[in-house]
């Protein structure tokens, strides 16, 4: 059967979803997508970067990832709106549900991207090009936002095709079209080629994807190691990876947070670690797995970074055990400098085992701790994350469930936000 793969990419996702929500539900009159605007974090909480931008903002050189101060310097009248990840999750779920009406093989690649294997169902809707147009138009009409659809016979080329002219376009990039459509592009446009790799390729005299495709694979491997072989294959349109309806099991779980101020005392640092262990432990238990490795990362005020890891005596998903390991690692790692960012990560996650290696002198009631964590998880699941809060966090500025999406990004109080 001939492979037909679609890649769907939401145009300026966070900005588009906010624009649609304001127009449809908040009485907005100005479409944020049509003016220089951007989604940005809270400068006061040190999350002051551009998360998404409109196409008009791009004309002023505003880039995703730069600071709000840099963006405002380029265009002082830039309209900024706060992030709202609760809304983004809802929009993402609606998109994936619509895509599954076209195929049961949908791989969510990110919150705003997905691959769809249309090989077995495309004939029900028309040609691949007709189906892509139909899908794109239906998303715009029913969900209110626009997407680009890339069509090809493998995932790599479909993704490359969706990056062609935006917004609201469907493009093809079949193997027979690589020479015409992809090879003239800058090598930096190729998937898996970042700034550092592009710089090395430039030094080798390789500036276009076509030049990379014609390069000697052995020479590329000598300079770029394994990545050289991979990107040479990509430049020639080679990708054998399947569309996975079910994602592979997660082997690592972790969370990190930028603190609202520089942390200079161990008590506050350990409180942040406890908050991170709350969220990491909850995710491990939700998926029914235990971690064999725990690591802690510290980013200092000068943006330097250090990390350290250890193997607990037994695989665990208990919050208290994760916390004890994190505190031990922190004590060994911290040099006393002001801390800007802390992270707790776990590795080698495997299916939960209720049996554990006990120490002869161990007096801890692990069954009781397991029941306690499970009960707290159930209460939070039913009544919200704030339904149960450890006493250590009362009266403190540290979020008791830190990491991942910070509290101020989970929802927006539109009573306090200007709607244009």
Catalytic residue among 113, 278, 321, 408: 113
Can you spell out the DSSP letters for 5-64?
EEEEEETTHHHHHHHHHHHHHS---S-GGGSSEEEE--GGGT--BEEEE-HHHHTTT--T
- Indicate the DSSP class of residue 175: G
Active site residue 408: no
d(CA 190, CA 212): 10
Residue 186 CA neighbour count, 13 Å, CB half: 9
Question: Strand 37-40 vs strand 79-81: parallel, antiparallel, or unpaired?
Answer: parallel
C-alpha 277/C-alpha 352 separation (Å) is 17
CB 344 within 8 A of CB 295: yes
Q: Which residues contact 382 (CB under 8 A, 6 or more apart)?
A: none
Cα separation, 141 vs 106, in Å, equals 21
Active site residue ranges:
113
């Amino acid at each position: 059967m001939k492979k037909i793969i679609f890649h769907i990419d939401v145009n300026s996702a966070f900005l588009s979803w906010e624009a649609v929500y304001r127009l449809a539900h908040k009485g907005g009159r100005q479409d944020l997508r049509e003016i220089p605007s951007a989604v940005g974090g809270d400068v006061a909480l040190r999350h002051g970067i551009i998360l998404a931008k409109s196409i008009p903002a791009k004309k002023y050189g505003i880039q995703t990832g730069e600071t709000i101060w840099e963006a405002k310097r380029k265009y002082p009248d830039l309209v900024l709106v706060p992030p709202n990840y609760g809304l983004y999750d809802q929009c993402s779920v609606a998109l994936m549900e619509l895509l599954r009406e076209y195929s049961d093989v949908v791989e969510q690649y990110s919150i705003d991207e997905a691959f769809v294997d249309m090989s077995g169902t495309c004939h029900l809707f028309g040609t691949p090009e007709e189906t892509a147009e139909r899908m794109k138009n239906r998303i715009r009409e029913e969900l209110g936002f626009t997407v680009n659809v890339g069509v090809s016979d493998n995932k790599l080329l479909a993704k490359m095709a969706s990056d062609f002219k935006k917004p609201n376009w469907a493009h093809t990039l079949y193997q027979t079209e690589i020479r015409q459509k992809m090879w003239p592009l800058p090598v930096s446009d190729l998937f898996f080629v970042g700034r550092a790799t592009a710089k090395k390729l430039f030094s080798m005299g390789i500036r276009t994807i076509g030049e990379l495709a014609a390069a000697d694979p052995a020479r590329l491997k000598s300079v770029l190691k394994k990545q050289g072989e991979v990107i040479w294959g990509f430049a020639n349109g080679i990708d054998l990876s399947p569309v996975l309806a079910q994602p592979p099991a997660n082997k690592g779980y972790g969370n990190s947070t930028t603190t609202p101020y520089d942390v200079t005392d161990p008590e506050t640092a350990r409180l942040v670690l406890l908050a991170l262990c709350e969220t990491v432990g909850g995710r491990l238990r939700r998926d029914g797995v235990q971690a064999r490795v725990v690591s802690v990362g510290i980013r200092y005020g000068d943006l330097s970074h250090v990390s350290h890891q250890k193997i607990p005596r037994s695989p665990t998903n208990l919050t208290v055990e994760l916390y004890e390991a994190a505190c031990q690692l922190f004590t060994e790692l911290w040099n006393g400098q002001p801390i800007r960012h802390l992270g707790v990560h776990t590795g080698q996650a495997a299916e939960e085992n209720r049996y554990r290696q006990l120490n002869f002198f161990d007096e801890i009631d692990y069954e009781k701790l397991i029941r306690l964590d499970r009960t707290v998880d159930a209460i939070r699941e039913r009544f919200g994350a704030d339904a149960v809060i450890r006493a250590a966090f009362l009266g403190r500025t540290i979020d008791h469930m830190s990491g991942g999406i910070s509290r101020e990004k989970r929802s927006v109080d539109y009573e306090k936000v200007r709607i244009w």
